[in-house]
Structure 1
Amino acid sequence: MTDTTTVRRRTALLEVQDVAVHFGGVKAVDGITLEMRPGQIYGVLGPNGSGKSTLLGAMTRLTPLTRGRFVLDGKDYTRRPARTVHHMGIARTFQTVRLLEDRSVRDNILLGQDTLPKQQRKEAGARVEEVMERVGVREVAQLRPDELSYGMQRRVEFARAIIGRPRLLLLDEPTAGMNSAERAEIGVLMKQLLEEGITQFIVEHDVQMMVDTCDYLFAMNFGKLIAQGTPQEVVRHPDVQEAYLGKGAGRDA
């Protein structure tokens, strides 16, 4: 008889096991357990201060843990330094744009290869044109970030994150500050990346965008996981509606 736990772990791309991040008496993340399987777009919803970005920082080992474990494709990387997480196939974008203003778009994208092993750096450098074409920034390759719209700057960040062919892409509010047309374009880009085999995990405030884009949602509040399931199940969950709309919203919706 097959052990179901063994099967689950074999099929999970990422396991987050009882993860907590406390800052003094503040429990920013407090006992989160979840898993992600390959070939899906996952999202986490929650009001401001619910712990979403802190969880993302912990997953990339930029934020120290109070307790818990992270397992990628069966390999525990909890104690690995942040600079080596990219080697394992995890890449991310940040809540605010982090581009070097005095460097060209092409140079900013190539920075994404700096944390890779030597052979992977060569491969990444050889495919920069392909990546720029894929995310729609090839025509502005020689411009500086401050010459681009905010939406285009976000695209540059996507390109920098995927140039090393990550297996898991973590996106922290990828459509923040964008208009509806730009958000729709990013949603299309995310679907294209999924077709290329890049599993994604998104932190985002735009509920409709999450419903339209994600295959599976988690919801957090006060550092804890309060719901998970299909997008429709999660947004209708009474605890999620109460977290967003106030006490009693779930009963009245």
Structure 2
Amino acid sequence: MTTELTRPQPDPSSPAGSEVLTLDDLAVHFGGIKAVDGITLGLARGRISGILGPNGSGKSTLLGAITRLTPLTRGTLRFEGQDYSRVRPEAVARLGIGRTFQTVRLLDDLTVRENVQLGHDLIAGSHSWWRRPDSTDRDAADSAVATALERTGLDGKENLLPGQLSYGLQRRVEIARAIVMSPKLLLLDEPTAGMNRFEREEIGKLMADLRSEGLTQLIVEHDVQMMVDVCDHLFAMNSGRLIASGTPSDVVRDPAVREAYLGKQDNDDRDS
């Protein structure tokens, strides 16, 4: 059974730092594999939070659970105080949760602009590929898409197909598609994968700009230094469980995190 919820309205009384998303005893099991095993955490409003962990620790599965693409074994999801644990996956974006994926998911036969506009159409409830929008709809969509393209450095590339772009630029298209949905919470799964140092820095600046506008963000990223530089708060996972939570500097120094996430590098350094 699924539950329909309306998009939560802004609450002027909600201060920065209050929780926009709360997970309570969240678990995702695949047979005997406990991909996510009893995660309880909260995301502070208007902050950038990050999740660290080795491959297979459950980070992307957790994002899938938050967006309802991955069925829950148990636990509760609350967004802006509303329980959405049974909401259909396609309704999550309309609540105000946007996401990019670990693997680029673009439609190869659509231009960059058209791929980004899909995000706007989803939120607007507009199926502009099947019906002719009126001038007001079209102007609003064009403006929103143009802004998202400019903010992600894609202006001038809007008429290209995804296959004509580098992998790093394809990642930017995904970010633009998420931004155009005007989310209240943005989930970014390895947003700088395939990018060079300059591109990573530009994405970091974009995240900081979005934070200054009050957008809450949750990032999964393998670039530890970027996470330390960009995030206000870090969570660390291993084997589906939360093993540390705190400021970036505290988390990366945590012995359990160093053992799980950085241990191989530390051991290699000692052996050399």
**Same fold, TM-score > 0.5, yes or no:** yes
Match of 1:238 in 2: 255
Q: Say which is worse superposed, 61-70 or 153-162, in terms of deviation.
A: 153-162
Q: Return the structure number with greater helix share.
A: 1
Contact 2:120 2:145 (8 Å CA) reproduced: no
Give me the whole-angstrom Cα distance separating, in 2, the residues matched to 1:77 and 1:125: 31
Calculate percent identity across the aligned residue pairs: 61
The residue type paired with residue 236 of structure 1 is R
Residue of 228, 234, 241 corresponding to 1:217: 234
Give me the whole-angstrom Cα distance separating, in 2, the residues matched to 1:42 and 1:123: 31
Q: Does 1:204 align with 2:211?
A: no
Match of 1:146 in 2: 163
Match of 1:229 in 2: 246
Q: Does 1:115 align with 2:122?
A: yes
The residue type paired with residue 241 of structure 1 is R
The residue type paired with residue 169 of structure 1 is L
Shift of residue 152, structure 1, vs aligned partner: 1.4
Match of 1:128 in 2: 145
Contact 1:44 1:203 (8 Å CA) reproduced: yes
Give me the whole-angstrom Cα distance separating, in 1, the residues matched to 2:206 and 2:221: 16
Residue of 67, 74, 78 corresponding to 2:85: 78
Shift of residue 116, structure 1, vs aligned partner: 1.7
Residue by residue over 1:22-79, the C-alpha shift from the partner in whole angstroms, topping out at 9 and shown as x without a partner, is 0000000000000011110000000000000000000000000000011001111000
Residues 1-253 of structure 1 aligned to structure 2 (within 5 Å): 11-118=18-125, 123-246=140-263
Contact 2:168 2:193 (8 Å CA) reproduced: no
Question: Gapped runs of 5+ residues in structure 1?
Answer: 1-6
Shift of residue 150, structure 1, vs aligned partner: 1.6
The residue type paired with residue 83 of structure 2 is D
Shift of residue 183, structure 1, vs aligned partner: 1.0
Shift of residue 114, structure 1, vs aligned partner: 3.2
Q: Say which is worse superposed, 111-120 or 181-190, in terms of deviation.
A: 111-120
Shift of residue 189, structure 1, vs aligned partner: 1.1
Residue by residue over 1:137-165, the C-alpha shift from the partner in whole angstroms, topping out at 9 and shown as x without a partner, is 11111111111122211111111001121
Give me the whole-angstrom Cα distance separating, in 2, the residues matched to 1:118 and 1:27: 36
Contact 1:121 1:164 (8 Å CA) reproduced: no
SS in 2 for 1:44: strand
The residue type paired with residue 49 of structure 1 is G
Give me the whole-angstrom Cα distance separating, in 1, the residues matched to 2:138 and 2:238: 39
Give me the whole-angstrom Cα distance separating, in 2, the residues matched to 1:83 and 1:226: 31
Kindly tell me the number of residue pairs found equivalent between the two proteins.
Answer: 245
Give me the whole-angstrom Cα distance separating, in 1, the residues matched to 2:88 and 2:216: 22
Contact 1:45 1:217 (8 Å CA) reproduced: yes
Normalised TM-score (structure 1):
0.90
RMSD of aligned residue pairs (Cα, Å): 2.4
The residue type paired with residue 188 of structure 1 is K
The residue type paired with residue 20 of structure 1 is A
Contact 1:19 1:69 (8 Å CA) reproduced: yes
